[in-house]
Structure 1
Amino acid sequence: MKKNPDHFPENFLWGGAIAANQAEGAYIEGGKGLCAADINRFTDKVNIKNKGNYEVTTEDIEFAIQDQEGIYPKRTAIDFYHTYKEDLNMLAETGMNTFRTSINWARIFPMGDESEPNEEGLKFYDNLIDEIRNNGMEPLITVSHYEMPLHLATEYNGWYNRKTIEFFVRYCEVLFNRYKDKVKYWILVNQINLITFESFNHLGIPADRVENLLEAKYQGAHNELIACARATKIAKEINPGMQIGMMLFDAISHPATCKPEDVLATVKRNQMEYYFSDILMRGKYPNYAYRFFEENNINIEFGEHDEEDIKQTADFFSFSYYYTRITDAESAKEVNSAYLNPQLQASDWGWSIDPIGLRTALNVYYDRYQKPIMITENGIGAYDKVDEYGEIHDLYRIDFLKRHIEQIREAIKDGVEVIGYYPWGPIDIVSCSSSEMSKRYGFIYVDKDDYGNGTLERKRKDSFYWYQKVVKSNGREL
């Protein structure tokens, strides 16, 4: 009788993941235009657990562009734009055989609506991708990771406007033609279901420009889904061997109790998290979405060929995994609502720690789609301290990752086809949600604080040497 594997496959992708906007800096170099993340301001006057990138108005955008006093950490980040060779060389010492990063849309099309790309921006990514490959790492490239050209938001209302479909597909076609022989794995949109926590960063819809913001978000997401399907078709025409993936932020919630009402509320809530992947993995609109839209007075306008376009599906499924939440019938009365499980320990940022939830998610997604899965983000944000000897002993990070990798191995034993694991921020980068440097994920410490002070010196943490052993042993030694 056939048996499931009890270990990681020999060709498993052990990697690390970053985003251009959180690492590169150089926000006006090389012909780059402003992108959505460039207006993310750091403030220490808000409780860290409540920080996030939610709604943005036209006034907010104009203020950020003119502001000469505020701190905008993603504009300088860790200067990866200039240090990528040294950083990739250091990361390669872990033995990781793959590396995920994004291409900043605004480096390639500074305004977003140009007919021709910015060659200087493309040359930077030529060199970056070559350097990834030269270090023995398979590139996994994200096409859109909160780096929409700001002009598309102010001029077109971002993804709410169907013209953005055309702009995005043109952008994708440029990349696919440029890197058709260098990049096998692509993710078109980072965490495509995040239309609340990363609302403006993701969709680029100024909240004051639309009458029904929730409807506008789902219309924007629909347009984005159509763009992804069209881009996938083009990729296959350019190089049939390219693997086009889609990515969710894992937002599966668990029932708060065993009451039937709470169980049903959880099922219904989770459906609208699967909604995005059901379309991109199955190639059609799920019936449950129509009832959701009707009950929430949402009308989605379809283009003439949309239903045919979405039949083009993704090759693999990927997701980020940080924490789980729970749902009850009362909380579910609000769209996308869920809350943290009080039975679980949490990080300093209030994110619950639930390694078993990762195994649960892997089984749920594989049962649903039966396609290869990558975990493209996983990690714990923590305050790291450099001791008197210049060392960083981050045993809490090792423990977190160890427990999650153990559950990935168990999922593989369950029969789940997991092909890659990418810890988030293998080198310290600016936090996505709060624009902090003090919220650190990396195996490599970067000397920079929340206010932009520091030498940018890189130091290996204890977790760096631990990950070396994990990769070298192919997950057998944790």
Structure 2
Amino acid sequence: MEGNEELHIKRSDFPDGFLFGAATSSYQVEGAYLEDAKSLSNWDAFCHSEDIDMMHSLGIKAYRFSISWARILPRGRSGEVNPAGITFYNKIIDNLILKGIEPFVTMHHFDFPQELEVKYGSWLNPEMQEEFVLLAETCYKYFGDRVKYWITINEPNLFTNAAYESGDFPPARCSEPFGNCLAGNSDVEPLIVMHNMLLANGKATKLYHDTTHGGSIGIVVSCLMYEPLTNTDLDREAAERAFAFNIGWVLDHLIYGDYPEEMHKYLGSRLPSFSLEEKNLLKNSIDFIGINHYSTMYTKDCINSSCSSTGAHAIQGYSSPDVCKERVDEILNDVKRIEFHSKYLAFLAKSLSYEWLQGYDVRFGLYYVDRKTLTRRSKLSAKWYKDFLMNNIDLIDMKALGGRRSFQNNVMMLRNG
């Protein structure tokens, strides 16, 4: 399916139980509702309600959204549950169910109460595990009767590297040569943070399985594909290492109860260890694995050969840069996104049968949002997705759409916003 080749793909190519949906995170859509002692505003609720109506009109059957930890438990274990936060999410969940949309709820998507950072350094401290368990317990208590699909933590590998290795995410901890931060240790702290997150995931998962709600719970990993830059043994081994240090880092313990062998080999005593009790807690603990797949990276060996900062890897992704009003029509006519989705779904169907950091600088999603008025305007890809879900389309002629190339997005949950 190269170039301008026509694609034969339709909704009925997928099993009946295969859910197509949309996804957002609380950081992307809710706003800083507590800023300057600000309470919940009419816009906080309105934006979600409008999103739900638009998803319903598209025929979407699933919506993955995240809970804002600070909205539910502003002070963690030191404070009380915020009733307004519970009401906020109850309205979202009830509206989704009313529209026939299955809620997929992520409990932790990068953000947490700042008080936990000030109090004991958040995820660098094992106490954060118990803080997260309280969040999970609260979510199950108030939402578990209607939410049957739970995600404990979103992309712990992406968050850990960005927040504690390169220092791009808060709390912005790192050390040279990975980044220039006021404090941190890029060689050690990411390992500690991930260890605490994985144990928190295990404890929250066990807690859910001990309830009577009968749903499913899992974890989501940032899952890039790694290909060797050249067809040499060294670069192929580098690709395997990259996979182990990024994806195996999150998933291996769920199967084997421990980190990948490659990590033990290269990190030695720096790598935290699981006790026997912890291994038993973690192995086979989740019901599903979520994958956020964006692109492919090319890997080059830098252990046995010299590397420069250029040419070692490359990454491409599809998003739209923020533009002036004069170029809105260009965003709305997003034929590149249609080509990407149709190609991706075609290969996904074949296999079955056989963005935070940049804030508002780039635009993802099926709708254009006017940042001043919050007016939504559907893009061409929104109409295509609706036609696809309604099974009204079985042939995508990329020549007719402009024959352009594209490169990115989540597999089933398309960003909406």
What is the TM-score when the length of structure 1 is the normalising length?
Answer: 0.70
Cα distance 1:27–1:339, how it changes in 2: closer, same or farther (>3 A)?
farther
Corresponding residue number in structure 1 for 2:239:
266
CA contact (8 A) 1:107 1:118 kept: yes
Cα distance 1:469–1:211, how it changes in 2: closer, same or farther (>3 A)?
closer
1:42-81 CA-to-partner distances (Å, cap 9, x unmatched) read xxxxxxxxxxxxxxxxxxxxxxxxxxxxxxxxx99x9554
Alignment of 1:27-426 (within 5 A): 27-28=33-34, 79-114=43-78, 116-194=80-158, 195-199=160-164, 204=171, 206-207=173-174, 212-239=185-212, 241-273=214-246, 274-294=248-268, 298-300=270-272, 302=274, 305-311=277-283, 313-330=285-302, 351-352=315-316, 380-382=319-321, 392-414=332-354
Q: Counterpart amino acid of 1:306? A: E
Q: Counterpart amino acid of 1:253? A: Y
Where structure 1 has 5 or more consecutive residues not aligned to the other structure, the ranges are: 1-5, 34-74, 343-350, 354-378, 415-430, 449-453
Cα distance 1:334–1:281, how it changes in 2: closer, same or farther (>3 A)?
farther
Give the superposition deviation at 1:466: 0.5
Give the superposition deviation at 1:256: 0.7
CA contact (8 A) 2:169 2:357 kept: no
Where structure 2 has 5 or more consecutive residues not aligned to the other structure, the ranges are: 1-11, 175-180, 397-417
Write the distance in 1 (CA, Å) between the matches of 2:328 and 2:132: 49
Give the superposition deviation at 1:341: 6.0
Give the superposition deviation at 1:470: 1.1
Alignment pair present for 1:441 and 2:364: yes
Write the distance in 1 (CA, Å) between the matches of 2:229 and 2:235: 7
Alignment pair present for 1:469 and 2:387: yes
Q: How many residues align?
A: 374
Write the distance in 2 (CA, Å) between the matches of 1:299 and 1:209: 24
Out of 239-248 and 94-103, give the one that drifted further.
239-248
Which SS does the other structure have where 1:468 is aligned?
Answer: helix
Write the distance in 2 (CA, Å) between the matches of 1:340 and 1:138: 42
CA contact (8 A) 1:105 1:147 kept: yes
Which SS does the other structure have where 1:193 is aligned?
Answer: helix
Corresponding residue number in structure 2 for 1:70:
none
Write the distance in 2 (CA, Å) between the matches of 1:166 and 1:456: 38
CA contact (8 A) 2:244 2:260 kept: no
Write the distance in 1 (CA, Å) between the matches of 2:77 and 2:310: 38
Cα distance 1:105–1:287, how it changes in 2: closer, same or farther (>3 A)?
same
1:5-51 CA-to-partner distances (Å, cap 9, x unmatched) read x9210121010110001101142179899xxxxxxxxxxxxxxxxxx
Identity of aligned residues (%): 27
Which SS does the other structure have where 2:76 is aligned?
Answer: coil
Q: Counterpart amino acid of 2:197? A: E
Task: Give the root-mean-square deviation of aligned CA atoms.
Answer: 3.4
Alignment pair present for 1:13 and 2:22: no
Give the superposition deviation at 1:387: 6.5
